[in-house]
Structure 1
Amino acid sequence: MPDASNKTTEIPGAAAGLDPKPADHPPVAPRKIGVLLLNLGTPDGTDYWSMRRYLGEFLSDRRIIELSPLLWQPILQGIILTLRPSKSGRNYAKIWNKELDESPLRSFTRVQAEKLSQAFGGQDEILVEWGMRYGQPSTDSRIESLIARGCDRLLLFPLYPQYSAATTGTACDAAFRSLMTKRWMPALRTVPAYFDDPAYIELLAESLRQQIAALDFEPEVVLTSFHGLPKENLLKGDPYHCQCQKTARLLRERLGWPDERLQVVFQSRFGPKEWLQPYADEKVAKLAEAGVKRLAVLSPGFASDCVETLEELAIGLRETFEEAGGERFAYLSCLNDSDAHIAYLRQVVERELRGWI
């Protein structure tokens, strides 16, 4: 008797290169891979109501404020969202991209996605998008777009070198919640934190060297300023503090600098709780009072310049330094959409897509 197990089933017309689908079958998009760059978020404008909407979404996130909503929401909806939008709007207005009427974070993230897409120009199966955890374009809308364009595999790329539940964690939360609503969910991968990647450390070191070489003074001290977190987050197990310290240590070693030449500070504390220390503003004042006259600051925890760097550091920290007796101050920009940064992002994506491409 013939062995039926050796037979292969052929779809009529397939051998001849014909489309085997029925004539009335809905169109099927070619299978593609989606790469979604994720950033924290941005208001749509600097006016009171735009800021209130943005801050309301941001400060209602349980990853950001871990208090019970029963306790927190009355405070948030009362005094905070009454007073803070105007102050935050004034800060954003100082650094707003008036030509495009958007925040620098939105401008840089969009261009990063565009340039990364161009870098993959020869690989039509890879589509690159960008989305925000808070504000527009929303993470959900970008996932919808990628799925609609045929992506059955999705790589989430949170643009945070160091992991924190309040950044990478909440950005991925938004993507996961979006995928929970999909009847047909794409296969999923996420890019891990890259705080100690040798290629990232070399990228930071080269950017720092180039920017210092372009100054008309030599900084006595360079501060690496990372966004702060409540100290209790560290005690609960968030690895962010340790990863920030390791990034700075590896950068210092790569540059061959002594400990006192490149130091770590934390910025942007909010509320009465103790946050990660040393605080940036206090450290800068102490350095100036101790006789340091020339200071530079960079932000290895941000992939793109934003209000926390362009207003809080480049403007606010400069004022603090000069008021305390400092004379020369430089803010060293983030990697932003530089060619070297885009090349690094492509390298990371290619590494994380192994087996898919």
Structure 2
Amino acid sequence: MRQEKTGVLLVNLGTPQAPTPAAVKRYLRQFLSDRRVVDAPRLIWWCILRGIVLPLRAPRVAKLYQSVWREGGSPLMVYSRSQQQKLQARLPDMPVALGMSYGAPSIQNAVDELLDQGVGHIVVLSLYPQYSCSTVAAAWDELARVLAKTRSVPGVTFIRDYATNPDYIQALAATARRAFTQHGEPDLLLLSYHGIPQRYADEGDDYPQRCRDTTRELVSALGLAPENVMMSFQSRFGKEPWLTPYTDETVKMLGEQGVKHIQVMCPGFACDCLETLEEIAVQNREIFRHAGGGKYEYIPALNDEDEHIAMMARLVARYR
């Protein structure tokens, strides 16, 4: 039986420190410089990033962040901190630290926090339910970089993903049922996942399959007919093809078809963030309605709901 003290490292993507062009620019520079996220030739991409992407994108994205910003920071940070605190309350004998792949608090700071508490074994839970090289593998890379500077490397259990974990599926189903009760069961439930370049999948990233796995299990748990559920991919960036169908084009098509009522859920997001609260809840609602659609509701992410925290606790506790 393992004798050393076990701690938990929660990892999420990250967020700007403020809804300002300067803060957003710093965040995007770090995020978009990661080869796991954008693997274009470095010199060419560096010139494009510094000369075109950051100057044009940072001010626009900052305005979007201002529309969702909260007293404690961005929604992703507020919910991530709450998840950490609630998980710590459920696991009082396992220190829980929060680290972001980009921005603060960093994975370096989180690992230092755990080691300072005498942790000899770290269970890493990246809050990306479906594995992708651009998210989970990026967190792995950063953790490896941090531990490469450590003389006494702790034991590490890295949870690759939890796309079909029964507790995760049931938590999603409970959230959807609450929305159905509040707004009525929709004509169609759209499950929108964050996209990745199609090329990444062609080169071996099994992310699309993991999304399909989640969709299959969730549809089964809800008892919905297959024709009442669709799956799409959002948040594409750049000009190369990404996973299809695209969410914005899908909601436009549904609106043009005169669909009276849809609800949209984003199972790949453990926390609500800019991509859900602004892109899905606002932009895509406008696209749907402008195209002739009727009722449109966004179903919130699991965030710090009790079912979600209980799922995390059971997932990591088996490695104590």
TM tier, shorter chain? over 0.9
Any idea what the Cα deviations from partners look like across 1:21-43, whole Å, max 9, x if unmatched?
xxxxxxxxx95222000000100
1:81 is aligned to 2:54: yes
Structure 1 residue 204, shift from structure 2 partner: 1.2
Matches within 5 A, 1:283-322: 283-322=250-289
Secondary structure of residue in 2 paired with 1:136: coil
Aligned to 2:112: 144
Q: Which residue of 2 aligns with 1:4?
A: none
Aligned to 1:117: 88
Report deviation, 1:139. Answer: 0.5
Q: Partner residue of 2:23?
A: 50
Distance (Å, rounded) in 2 between the aligned partners of 1:236 and 1:31: 39
Deviation at 1:171, TM superposition (A): 1.1
Q: Distance in 1 between matches of 2:54 and 2:208?
A: 29
1:66 aligns with 2:39: yes
Q: Is 1:205 aligned with 2:178?
A: no
Contact map agreement 1:156 1:172 (CA 8 A) in 2: no
> Contact 1:294–1:326 at 8 Å: present in 2 too?
yes
Distance (whole Å) between structure 1 residues aligned to residue 302 and residue 54 of structure 2: 33
Amino acid at match of 1:181: K
Quote the offset at 1:327 in angstroms.
2.1
The question of whether the paired residues in 2 share the 8 Å contact of 1:45 and 1:51 is answered with: yes
**Percentage identity across aligned positions?**
41
Pair 1:194 & 2:194 matched: no
Partner of residue 305, structure 2? 338
In the TM superposition, what whole-angstrom CA distance separates every residue of 1:233-271 from its partner, at most 9, and x where no partner exists? Answer: 110000000110111111112222122211101000111
Matches within 5 A, 1:128-277: 128-215=96-183, 217-277=184-244
With a CA cutoff of 8 Å and minimum separation of 6, indicate the structure with the bigger relative contact order.
2
What is the alpha-carbon root mean square deviation over aligned residues? 1.2
Give the SS at the match of 1:194.
Answer: coil
Q: Residue 196 of structure 1: CA displacement?
A: 1.3
Alpha-carbon distance, 1:318 to partner: 0.6
Structure 2 spans left out of the alignment, 5+ residues: none
Higher helix proportion (structure 1 or 2): 2
Secondary structure of 1:85's match? helix
Matched residue of 1:347: which SS? Answer: helix
Per the alignment, residue 324 of structure 1 pairs with 291
Q: Residue deviations 1:1-50, cap 9 Å, x none?
A: xxxxxxxxxxxxxxxxxxxxxxxxxxxxx952220000001000111110
1:304–1:334 contact (8 Å) kept in structure 2: yes
Aligned-partner residue type, residue 124 of structure 2: L
C-alpha distance in 1, partners of 2:292/2:150? 58
Larger Rg: 1
Q: Which amino acid in structure 2 is aligned with residue 221 of structure 1?
A: L
Which residue identity is paired with 1:239? D
CA–CA distance in 1 between the matches of 2:291 and 2:142? 42
1:326 Cα deviation from its structure 2 partner: 1.4
- CA contact 2:22–2:58 (8 Å) conserved in 1: yes
Please state whether the residue corresponding to 1:311 is helix, strand or coil: helix
Equivalent residue of 1:260, what SS? helix
Separation in 1, partners of 2:126, 2:104? 16
Question: 1:211-233 CA deviation, whole Å, 9 max, x = no partner?
Answer: 22112x43111100000011001
SS in structure 1 at match of 2:262: strand
- With the length of structure 2 as denominator, give the TM-score of the two structures: 0.97
- Residue type of the partner of 2:80? T
| CA deviation after TM superposition for structure 1 residue 323, in Å | 0.6
CA contact (8 A) 1:228 1:275 kept: yes
1:251 counterpart letter in structure 2:
L
Paired residues, number: 318
- Structure 1 residue 199, shift from structure 2 partner: 2.3
Q: Partner residue of 1:279?
A: 246
Secondary structure of the residue that 1:214 maps to in structure 2?
A: helix
For residues 250 and 188 of structure 1, the distance between their equivalents in structure 2, rounded to whole angstroms, comes to 29
Residue 350 (structure 1) aligned with residue 281 (structure 2): no
How far apart are the structure 1 equivalents of 2:289 and 2:142?
41
SS at structure 1 position matched to 2:95: strand
Counterpart-to-counterpart distance in 2, 1:209 and 1:78: 47
Q: Which range is displaced more, 226-235 or 185-194?
A: 185-194
- Rounded Cα–Cα distance in structure 2 between residues aligned with 1:211 and 1:348: 26
Partners of 2:258 and 2:294 within 8 A in 1: no
